[in-house]
Chains A and B, each alone.
Chain A
Amino acid sequence: MKSLLVLALLMILPAAVLAAAPVPPTYFYPFVNPYEATVMELPREFEVRLPSEIPVREFVVHPFPKRHIPEVFWYENGLTCSLAYQDREAPLVFLIAGSGSRFDVPRMLKLQKVLYKAGFHVISITSPTHMDFVVNAASGLPGIASDDAKDLYRVMELAWQKVRGDVRVSSFMLAGYSLGGFDAAFIARIDDREHRFDFKRVLLINPPVCLYDSVTALDQLLVDNVPGGMDNFDAWFRGVFSQTMQLAESWGPGGLSGESMYRTYKRMQPSESNLAALIGLTARMNAADMIFTADVMNGGGYIVPKNVRLTSTTSLTRYAIVAYKTSFADYFNEWLLPHYQIKEPGLTRQALLQRENLRALEPYLRGNAKFGMVHNEDDIILVPGDIEYLERVFGDRAWIFPSGGHMGNMFQPDVVSAITGFLKGKEE
């Protein structure tokens, strides 16, 4: 009996030694279900208080000034970034948006405020998976993190050139959430060779471990949760739409806010499978937008025929339908892999997948004091084993919260403290 106890203790001890940074005992988060946590906005009383206005200016960079932008993307003209600036010398954080997000989506604006309030200048950068980036700043087909990171690094250099005369910067930091966090790790490695910024700290917020696994898991949420399969998508979506409309009417003048959603949630108890399917749908639509745009920018052949020019009045409906029936996995296997194999004969699928995996960076990340990570145990983009892996790699610079889903708890005060605390560092 005793020896069993000792054995058990021995097994627990190494884990305890390696354990992540402690989560404050006060941590409270109202959504226990990870799908709900991911979708629902936090009611204001659970969120950190942020200033309503901060000094921000937007500017445009042109990484490929001679690039001809196809007429079908008539609204595209350079990649817009934004700068939130302090009026004194301060560290500057480059903030990379998550998958399919522009620099100014609500989450980016809020995170920008969080970092501004903590005393940083912030440059917000659109995700390399957003169509604005694909059109203006991608050097080839997007989707392979190591190459996307090169494109991001180019944008960051240009952005810095644009603002360096206007702000006094003491040091550089790098942060990103979701895919943006994942990108940040790859960017940091490039910077260790190029030394343009010499990032003092790099923070990964809710990153995937293996991008392919995460995107596939998200897509599966859609495929598995539409009752009767994807052939019934239309009927299902109409149902969800009219349910949502009925709720929206009962929300009244306040409209769609955290509070109103929370109230409705408490009353209605939305079905978990619908929430999961909606999360999957968002991921599928983001991927489809990126894939179609990348196809047009690279001469077509995947969804758009080769040798056609789409104009501003060309009907895109048929391409849209096909694109929305295309998952990231389809794109990876049918288009991205063959494309890379032409450039690099002999490249295996496994080898290309390795470029989409934080595990490939493990020797670089492990024990590297400039990296920190914030994550949730119940994050739906992780597959079993991922969270333990991240905990081992990041050690006491990993803040892992028990609940919150995929970034649902980002603006909960304890999470915000973890984010700003790490970036500020202990010496300040």
Chain B
Amino acid sequence: MKKHAPCKGSNNLRGRRGRGRARLLVVAAGAILAAGCSTLPVTTGPVEPPLRRYEDFVKPGQPNMLEVKDSVEGFNRGSYRFNYYFDEYLYRPVVRGYEIIMPDYLEDRVSDAIDNLNEITNLTNNLFQFKLKAAGVTVSRFVINSTVGVAGLWDPATHFGLKRQTDDFGLTLGHYGTGDGSYLMLPVFGASNVRDTTGFVADLATFNYIGPVAWVNDSTATWVYSGVYAVDRRHRTPFRYRQTGSPFEYELIRTLYTMKRDFDIEQTKTKDVK
């Protein structure tokens, strides 16, 4: 499942090739997003209904998990197409370069360090949901991993039985009953919805004002961090476009994303600690 991944990484590219590609992508994005966003097919003659009609197979009011509220589907499909090109021609080539340069062992250290810094997001949201035990675990993890784990490069806390209490503001909103709003396919960041996008922006703001960004207060460091974060995120996400081999990949991702988030929200309601 594709999750949020910040786009700042793309701005961070300094290579000439990267810049050229980035410019190309901007043009492509503009063209794709500006292209008609109609979700209706174009008619080319007298339309004949097909042999198997939707109306004959779906009783009115019968729920179908492929039907997810998608108010801006035209935009979303354009954005999905843009993401495919972005991933294919810029994002994954950069990540592949990273994977070639870095030994696997160091890649894992980078992942651990980033996870450690992100404990701030977990902590604020554990607290927002009054999951005090989970918050306690998160604080202990941060302290142990920052010290014994040498600035978070290793994750001894997990070996001590303290599991990561992953949380975000989208889940917090869902925890208190906020619905999806509508499905959103964000350019670069990928599958989301109105609720989770709001949450994502809130988490980003928290991270910037009380998190590591505020501690260092240095814009170069922030850019470097964002770039590394973006690369590490893609490195850890096994998703590949067109891997489903289905003409309905857009629908499948939309349904699975929605179901996964529903499941995660349900978990925040039933479990205090993971």
Residue of A nearest to B58 (CB): A321
Interface string of B12-54 (1 = CB under 8 A from A): 0000000000000000000010011111111111111111111
Distance, CA A288 to CA B54, complexed state (A): 14
Residue of B nearest to A318 (CB): B54
Of B63-71, B92-100, B125-133, B193-201, which binds chain A? B63-71
Contacts of A237 in B (CB 8 A): 65
Q: Specify which of A75, A304, A316 is in contact with B248 (CB 8 Å cutoff).
A: A316
Contacts of A288 in B (CB 8 A): 248
Tally of A-B Cβ pairs under 8 angstroms: 138
Distance, CA A324 to CA B58, complexed state (A): 12
Contacts of A234 in B (CB 8 A): 63-65
> Does any Cβ of B come within 8 Å of A157's Cβ?
no
Contacts of A323 in B (CB 8 A): 248
Residue count of chain B within 8 Å CB distance of chain A: 50
Residue count of chain A within 8 Å CB distance of chain B: 56
Of B142-150, B167-175, B259-267, which binds chain A? B259-267
A363 CB, min distance to chain B CBs, angstroms: 36
* Max chain A C-beta neighbours (<10 A), residue from B41, B49, B67, B84: B41
- Is the pair B247, A73 in contact by a Cβ cutoff of 8 Å? yes
Distance, CA A249 to CA B264, complexed state (A): 11
Contacts of A316 in B (CB 8 A): 247-248, 250-251
Given A306-B50, A313-B38, A315-B39, 18 more pairs with CB closer than 8 A: A75-B242, A130-B245, A131-B247, A234-B65, A300-B50, A301-B48, A301-B50, A303-B51, A305-B41, A306-B47, A312-B78, A313-B37, A315-B73, A317-B67, A317-B70, A321-B58, A322-B54, A326-B52
Interface residues of B (CB under 8 A from A): 32, 35-54, 57-58, 62-67, 70, 73-74, 77-78, 81, 84, 238, 241-242, 245-248, 250-251, 259-260, 263, 266, 274
The 3 lowest CB-CB distance pairs between A and B, nearest first, are A307-B45, A315-B39, A308-B41
20 A-B contacts (beta carbon < 8 Å): A75-B84, A102-B245, A295-B50, A305-B49, A306-B47, A307-B43, A307-B44, A308-B42, A308-B44, A312-B35, A313-B37, A313-B74, A313-B77, A314-B40, A316-B248, A320-B248, A320-B251, A321-B54, A321-B66, A322-B54
